[in-house]
Structures are given as C-alpha cells and as structure tokens.
Structure 1
Amino acid sequence: MVNLLACAGILTGCKPLPPSKPEAQFTPEEARGAQVFHAYCARCHYPTTTRGLKGPGLQALTKVKAMPSGAPPTDERITQTIRHGHGMMQAVPVGDEDLQYLLAYLHTL
C-alpha cells in the first residue's frame, strides 16, 4: 500500500509536456512543414510523442530545456542537427525553404 501511494505521488508530481498544436490550426507554413517532416523525418521520428522510433520522439522539442542530445533546442541547433546529423542521425538533404517550413512545424509539436 505504501509503495502504491509513493508511485501515485510520483506520477502526479510529473508535469506532462505541452500538447501539440492541432493540425486544423496550422498556418500554411506549418502545414507545408508537416509535409516536409513526413517526407524526410517520419521514418525515424514520431512527432507527437516522446516515444522513440529509430530516433527520439519529438513532442515539445522546442518547448523543453534540452533536446535528447542535451543541447538547447534553438532553431540554430536544430538546423545544425538536421543539416549535419548527430550521433546515429545522418544529415538530411533539405533545401533552405523547406527547412524554414520544417522549423515552423517543429514549433507546433
């Protein structure tokens, strides 16, 4: 019984991550970014969960203090990771315009 109460206290003390923006509320740039995500990223990353696929889930990526790598989730750092890869992630050959759309979409997660 004590263990059950301790577990309940731990669970209620955890803050859930903020929810992703509903797709129906996407700007045209965010919607285009979602298309870019599905073309380049979805085979390795889930967008709306922290559960990993081949790479980490990306829910609230831009809203947390650090990315799974430990680096702060700035647009510059995310761009660096996309363009040059990190760890097991290979570089992604996405053009400048599509990269800006992708960043807009990542901010919705």
Structure 2
Amino acid sequence: MLLIGILAGAMSCDVERRKSDAELGLNPQQAAGRRVFDAECARCHEPYSTRGKKGPGLKGMFQRKYLPLSGLPANDDRVSDIIRLGRNEMPGYSQKLDAQQLQDLLAYLHTL
C-alpha cells in the first residue's frame, strides 16, 4: 500500500517537460542550433539559467554587454572564437563543428 501511495504521489507531481522547438518559437536554423547545443554544450552549460554547471549559464548572454567570466564583448565574433578555439577550461570545437553548425548554434544562443 505504501508503494502505491508513493507511486500515485510521484505521478501527480508537476514534472516540467522540455518545450518543443515550436513552443519556443524557434525557426529551422535556431532549432538546428538547439540540437548542436544539446549534443555538444548542454553537459557544461545551462541554456535557460544564468547559473552554470561546469561552464557559465547562458541565459540572456547576447543581451549583456559583456560575456560572463571572460568579460569579452558579447557579440557573434567573440562567441564564435570561444566556441572554435576554446577558453580556460572549455575545449575548442573547431574540429567538431562545421561552419553551418556554428552559425546554427549562434542563432540558437541568440534566443536564450
């Protein structure tokens, strides 16, 4: 009986589900960038929070004048350089991401 009560309580909990690309209003390029983010970035960065995991949270990064931690200008050129070349503990992704994937990722990051 206790197990049934625990299971019933767990089933009634409001578990936040992941929003779809359409619910977020992402265009095809931004949706492709979200997939790149999920595959390559999500284990170290939170997309919808300023709190970090291993790296900084990225919510609103392009609404800021400067990037968190580095203090570099928050623009496509600087962010591209960091993604391609790495910075501090972050590895570079120039060997993993092609030019289109990088552009898609930037498009997605602008939505955060």
TM-score bracket, shorter-length normalisation: 0.7 to 0.9
Please say which structure displays the higher CA radius of gyration: 2
Unaligned runs of 5+ in 2: 1-19
Match of 1:11 in 2: none
Deviations 1:26-52 (A, max 9, x none): 101111110000011001000010101
TM-score by structure 1 length?
Answer: 0.78
> Could you tell me how far apart the structure 2 residues matched to 1:88 and 1:108 are?
25
| 2:101 aligned to which of 98, 102, 105 | 98
Structure 1 ranges of 4+ moved more than 6 A: none
Distance in 1 of aligned mates of 2:52 and 2:84:
21
Q: Report what 1:42 is aligned to.
A: 42
Q: C-alpha distance in 1, partners of 2:103/2:26?
A: 15
- Residue matched to 1:89: 90
Partner Cα separation in structure 2 for residue 105 and residue 66 of structure 1: 18
Give TM-score, length-normalised by structure 2.
0.76
Alpha-carbon RMSD across the aligned residues, in angstroms, is 1.1
Larger RCO, structures 1/2 (Cα 8 Å, 6+ apart): 1
Q: What 5-or-longer segments of structure 1 have no aligned partner?
A: 1-21
Residue type matched to 2:48 in 1?
T
Identity across the alignment (%): 47
